[in-house]
Homo-oligomer: A and B are copies of this chain.
Amino acid sequence: MSVLISGSIAIDHVKTQRASQENLLGGSASYAAIAASFFSPVGIVAVVGHDFPDEHLEVFKARGINLDGIEFSGGETFRWSGEYMEDMNDRETLSVALNVLESWQPSVADSQKTATTVNLLANSHPLNQHAVIDQLGAGPGFTIADTMDLWIQISRHELESLLKRIDLLVLNDSEARLMMDTPNVVSAGHRLREMGPKYVIIKKGEHGAMLFGENEFFACPAFPLHDVFDPTGAGDSFIGGFAGYLASLGKKGYNFADLKSGIARGTILASFTCESFSTHSLHDLTPAAFEERLKTFRQYCEFA
């Protein structure tokens, strides 16, 4: 029972107000895959260039991730550079170079097709997300798609048709407001559901996440961090952890309680991601440290 994750792999340069590092492993698929691999076997479908560091490939390999769907292209890897202000909610993109990502067309490897039970379409062009669904066929029991403001603005039509092919849409609050043209996130969540997906998750960063189902709802706070080191990839780790947890349940359909449990676990992985650059703090996260934080989180959320 494994998770197939398609999306971007990037080389990031991240600057915060107290540290800066180049050549970091980044991209939606990278964060999601490493988080998901905490719970389940994972396959990646993505593209990298000739400049992609071996050490980053080793990170995937060390976690047993199936890399057969990674295309090794002659060009340069997708690069992103950004700076966080004193308020970590305030981020400026310094540069973006799509490079090999520009003409990429995802190709799911045969070795990845049969085992897939959760298909996570991490943030990527909606046409690429469609292509992965086309290649996988009816195999996976549960398909999740993430998106972003850019696709809402320039590929709305393809995104809308995608919504009819997935089980769950995940996006952040500003994107939900943009897509539904309303300031009310609760209303946006319900109306996004009516466009196709059975479930919608709206991510709210430091304020947690909301899950919308038919006549069902779940509000999950974020894990409180005194000190956010680098929030890059927190949302991707969140949904990767969510997908990995679902796949680990070893069944085909998931009920609302399963999704709630998945969100709590994704929240914990996202909190670890925020405590270091890149995926570093996920690399040697132990099940004991994870369970300890999950237990604490439960206490933080319980009331009588």
Instruction: Identify the A interface with B (CB < 8 A).
Output: 86-89, 183-187, 190, 204, 206-208, 210, 217-222, 224-228, 257, 260-261, 263-264, 298, 300-304
Contacts and interface: CB of A to CB of B under 8 A. Distances in A.
Given A89-B183, A217-B300, A219-B300, 10 more contacts: A86-B183, A184-B225, A187-B226, A204-B207, A210-B221, A219-B224, A219-B301, A221-B221, A261-B303, A298-B303
21 contacts: A87-B183, A88-B183, A184-B225, A184-B226, A184-B227, A184-B228, A186-B224, A186-B225, A187-B226, A208-B221, A210-B224, A217-B224, A217-B300, A218-B300, A218-B303, A219-B224, A219-B301, A260-B303, A260-B304, A261-B303, A263-B303
A304 B217 CA distance: 15
A226 B304 contact: no
Contacts of A220: 221, 303
A304 to B, nearest CB: 5
Contacts of A261: 303-304
Number of copies: 2
B219 A221 contact: yes
A210 to B, nearest CB: 7
A99 B257 CA distance: 54
Most chain B beta carbons < 10 A, residue from A89, A183, A261: A183
**What are the 5 A-B residue pairs with the smallest beta carbon separation, nearest first?**
A219-B221, A87-B183, A207-B207, A260-B303, A186-B224
Most chain B beta carbons < 10 A, residue from A86, A89, A184: A184
Contacts of A264: 303
A172 to B, nearest CB: 13
A87 B185 CA distance: 10
Contacts of A185: 206
A24 B195 CA distance: 40
A298 B260 CA distance: 13
A299 to B, nearest CB: 8
B301 A301 contact: yes
B219 A208 contact: yes
A172 B187 CA distance: 24
A186 B226 contact: yes
Contact of A227 (B187, B222, B228): B187
A301 B303 contact: yes
Contacts of A222: 219
Contacts of A207: 204, 207-208
A200 to B, nearest CB: 13
